[in-house]
């Protein structure tokens, strides 16, 4: 028995020696560290621009009398991140809703394939769905509006039944409730979400009662001329669901190519939004500087409500293309005007007074209908096509309830890479 044990130790020693030789002699008893080698070659995320790290003097500028006594100016350190150069457009959001529509159809039609020994089933996207096929329509009949309810006598897909399901973890609660020696059950912190994916296209009629907005209601979301216009009619929960889907879509491709996976798409905090909107200008009231909202030629620099309500004076009656007007010094378009934008942050009048100096952000998560209504107030930034100039200032704050959709609120995403190599500058292309 002793000899057998010695032989095993000898064999292990031979394996260890062979490993040391194959790696150039090994560490030779020295502490050299263990590195993880991954394929971290990455192009810049399409449609995004880099917002560098820096120090922000956050809060009201000298010209912002509206918020001067509400949010005191303070200094915080910001960490760099990627941000969408424009608001999410109708075409981009339609990619999300089409994905949900196709995945729903695949699930009903059982277009699955087994993966590995675990027997896990995933959607087989290679199986094409013939939407005009009568058998397909029969299988998906529960998702169609009956022809009797259509004024055209034609069956139409019921977009209200497109529901995006996703799960995530409440890492903040996990970290705060952790105690040394205590085992945490992960399922306790897992949150499930079922969110309607399709935007509310009726917001153009709901918000403006004594106004004839039926044409834009019927056309804005799908007509090709509006592809590059910002999506509206999206609640905060829908914006969150979009970010989750975009992360899933991004990671699935990179994982298939054995590429480096880090970070996730999400809404910016209002501190991140303000830092990006300033474009490196310390106390300027607008993304382009200021204090004026017109250039030397008298042309307006954003889409808002100028003068006494001449909406079209700036070139747009409602929204305009997401890449209209000139970008700020970070390459970001329409950080003021066009549509106001959802942020990740709950609205608190004195939020700047209690956020941290490093990557400051306030967070509050409304979980149910029983939660107080004020918990569901989400900070929106930037002003919109219907707002006067004071709302366009980068320090101006407003709020809307998370479960409401408006014709003047859109959003854009950020992608964070917490890496020393990316803290001050973007990676090489």
Most confident of the following: 11-25, 280-294, 359-373: 280-294
How far, in Å, CA of 282 to CA of 276, rounded? 11
Predicted confidence band at 366 (pLDDT cuts at 50, 70, 90)? Answer: low
pLDDT one-digit tens code per residue, 214-229: 999 999 999 999 999 9
Pair 400, 378: CB distance under 8 Å = yes
Answer yes or no: are the C-beta atoms of 232 and 406 closer than 8 Å.
yes
Least confident stretch, 80-84, 168-172, 260-264, 333-337: 260-264
Which residues make Cβ contacts (< 8 Å) with residue 256, sequence separation at least 6?
Answer: none
What pLDDT, in 10s, does the model give residues 146-164? Answer: 877 877 777 788 888 899 9
From CA 162, how far away is CA 98, in angstroms rounded? 9
| Distance separating alpha carbons of residues 423 and 27, to the nearest angstrom | 31
Q: Which residues contact 179 (CB under 8 A, 6 or more apart)?
A: none
Least confident residue range of 106-120, 166-180, 309-323 = 106-120
Instruction: Note the pLDDT tens digit of each residue in 272-323.
Output: 999 999 998 887 889 998 788 998 888 999 999 998 888 888 989 999 999 9
Q: Give Cβ neighbours of residue 77 (< 8 Å, ≥ 6 apart).
A: 53, 54, 55, 56, 357, 358, 359
d(CA 70, CA 202): 34
Residue with tokens 């009398």: 65
In angstroms, how far apart are the furthest CA atoms of the chain?
97
Per-residue pLDDT of 57-96, as tens digits, reads 887 765 555 555 566 777 888 889 999 999 999 999 999 9
Task: Give 269: exposed, middle or buried? Use CB within 10 Å, 0-12, 13-18, 19+.
Answer: buried
Q: What stretch of H or E contains 271?
A: helix 270-278
Domains and CATH numbers, the chain: 48-422 (3.90.1580.10)
Residues 397 and 377 sit within 8 Å (Cβ to Cβ): no
Is pLDDT at 15 greater than 90 in this prediction?
no
349 within 8 A of 372, measured Cβ to Cβ? no
Residues facing 259 on adjacent strands: 39
pTM of the model: 0.86
Q: Are strands 409-410 and 340-346 parallel, antiparallel or unpaired?
A: parallel
Supply the pLDDT for residue 259.
Answer: 75
Q: Compute the Cα dihedral for 325, 330, 331, 333 and give only its sign.
A: negative
- Closest to 413 in 3D by CA, of 216, 167, 292, 238: 238
Phi and psi, residue 275, nearest 5° = -60, -45
Whole-number average pLDDT of the chain: 82
Residue 284 belongs to what H/E stretch?
none
Tell me the two tokens of residue 292.
């004026």
């Amino acid at each position: 028995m002793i000899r057998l044990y010695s032989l095993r130790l000898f064999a292990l020693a031979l394996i260890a020696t062979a490993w040391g030789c194959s790696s150039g002699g090994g560490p030779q008893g020295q502490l050299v560290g263990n590195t993880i080698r991954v394929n971290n070659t990455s192009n810049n995320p399409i449609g995004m621009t880099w917002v560098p790290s820096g120090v922000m003097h956050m809060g009201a500028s000298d010209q912002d009398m509206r918020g001067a006594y509400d949010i005191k100016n303070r200094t915080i350190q910001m960490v760099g991140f990627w941000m969408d150069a424009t608001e999410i457009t109708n075409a981009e959001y339609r990619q999300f809703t089409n994905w949900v529509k196709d995945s729903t159809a695949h699930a009903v039609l059982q277009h699955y394939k087994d993966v590995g020994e675990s027997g896990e089933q995933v959607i087989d996207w290679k199986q094409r769905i013939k939407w005009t096929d009568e058998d397909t329509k029969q299988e998906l009949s529960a998702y169609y509006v009956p022809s009797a309810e259509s004024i055209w006598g034609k069956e139409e897909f019921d977009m209200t039944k497109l529901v995006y399901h996703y799960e995530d973890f409440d890492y903040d609660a996990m970290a705060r409730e952790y105690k040394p020696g205590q085992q945490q059950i992960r399922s306790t912190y897992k949150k499930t979400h079922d969110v309607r994916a399709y935007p509310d296209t009726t917001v153009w009629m709901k918000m403006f009662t004594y106004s004839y907005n039926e044409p834009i209601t019927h056309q804005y979301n799908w007509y090709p001329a509006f592809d590059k216009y910002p999506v509206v009619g999206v609640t905060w929960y829908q914006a969150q669901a979009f970010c989750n889907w975009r992360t899933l879509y991004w990671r699935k491709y990179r994982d298939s190519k054995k590429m480096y996976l880090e970070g996730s798409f999400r809404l910016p905090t209002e501190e991140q939004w303000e830092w990006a909107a300033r474009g490196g200008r310390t106390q300027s009231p607008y993304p382009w500087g200021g204090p004026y909202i017109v250039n030397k030629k008298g042309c307006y620099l954003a889409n808002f409500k100028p003068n006494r309500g001449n909406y079209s004076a700036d070139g747009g009656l409602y929204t305009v293309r997401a890449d209209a007007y000139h970008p700020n010094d970070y390459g970001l378009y329409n950080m003021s005007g066009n549509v106001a934008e959802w942020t990740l942050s709950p609205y608190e009048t004195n939020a700047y007074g209690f956020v941290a100096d490093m990557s400051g952000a306030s967070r509050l998560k409304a979980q149910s209908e029983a939660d107080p209504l004020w918990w569901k107030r989400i900070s929106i930034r930037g002003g919109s096509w219907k707002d006067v100039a004071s709302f366009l200032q980068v320090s101006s704050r407003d709020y809307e309830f998370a479960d409401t959709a408006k014709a003047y609120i859109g959003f854009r995403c950020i992608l964070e890479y917490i890496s020393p190599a990316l803290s001050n500058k973007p990676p090489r292309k």
